[in-house]
Amino acid sequence: MKLTETSRRWGLLLPAIVTIMLFSILPLGVVLLYSFLSPGDFGNVKWTFSTNGWFSVLFERDIFDDTVTVSNANLVILGRSVGLSLATTLITLIFGLPTAWFIATRPLSQRGFWLFLITIPFWTNLLVRTIAVQEMIRSEGVLNRILLALGVIHEPLQLMFTNFAVLLGMAYVFLPLMVLPVYAAIEKFDFTLAEASYDLYASRYYCLRRVILPLVRPGIIAGSILVFVPALGAYVTPRIMGGGKSMMLGNLIEMQFGQGRNWPLGAALAITLTILVLLALVWYTRITSDKKERSHG
């Protein structure tokens, strides 16, 4: 009887295991394998073991005297990717937290409407949303036209193809990913606790810092992960808003598999991106597990 129950459970798990193996672990294994091969002459790889792909992630070798130097270009792109992703997470949190609080404090009959407005961008293609932001800030866009008409500026501001443009585009695209989990946490918040803190003469700032934020912290952490992870590997928004001047890690990976024709380097960069994402997820797991241990302790 016990064997039958175990077999039944494995039978139910089998479709999920096969799906994960075929569409997650196997492709990732192929990418990892490619990172230890040699680049082909016109793309693809040569089946010769080489660590040059991983070497080129951080270093570069001079073609004339064979000297080794740090790959400043790759490090700048890596630093920009992490920095813009963190900045995007912070900006979406700054705007997403009050937005989620506003929705959660509406009457129950109105919350569905406000959530509907938040989820509308998900109904539109990412490319369309990014181009919409581009139309707002380009030299002949809405923002520059308004500022010129008001006399605030005398010539259009060059906002496109900058880190600011990439940051603005990603903040707009990923904002709903921050609002929804924070809203879910605030919705479960017992507002009588805030009222009790006011009765004990706590200021609004003290109530926010010591009562509200600790209780909605899981939603904030979940929203931060949901924003940071896709922002780190973003491709479409940096490609359109940043052009070739503000490349991010996703654009660099695509370039190695395309114009660069260096698949091992592209594969090594892709694995590096995966490692960064895993580190973020490990941090999230440790934070949430520590909080659960303290709550049960």
Would you say residue 254 has pLDDT above 70?
yes
What's residue 291's pLDDT? 60
94-113 mean pLDDT = 93
pLDDT tens profile 105-144: 999 899 999 999 998 888 888 899 999 999 999 988 899 9
What's residue 271's pLDDT? 95
What's residue 213's pLDDT? 86
What's residue 231's pLDDT? 94
User: Using 50, 70 and 90 to split pLDDT, how confident is the model at 3?
Assistant: low
User: Using 50, 70 and 90 to split pLDDT, how confident is the model at 200?
Assistant: confident
What's residue 2's pLDDT? 53
Would you say residue 253 has pLDDT above 70?
yes
13-23 mean pLDDT = 89
Would you say residue 146 has pLDDT above 50?
yes
142-147 mean pLDDT = 92
What's residue 32's pLDDT? 95
CATH number belonging to domain 74-296: 1.10.3720.10
Would you say residue 275 has pLDDT above 70?
yes
What's residue 1's pLDDT? 47
283-288 mean pLDDT = 77
What's residue 292's pLDDT? 57
Domain ranges of the chain: 1-34, 74-296
Question: Which is more confidently placed, 3 or 23?
Answer: 23
Closest CA to 268 of 252, 279, 283, 280: 252
What's residue 238's pLDDT? 93
Percent residues over pLDDT 90 in the chain: 56
Average pLDDT taken over every residue of the chain: 88
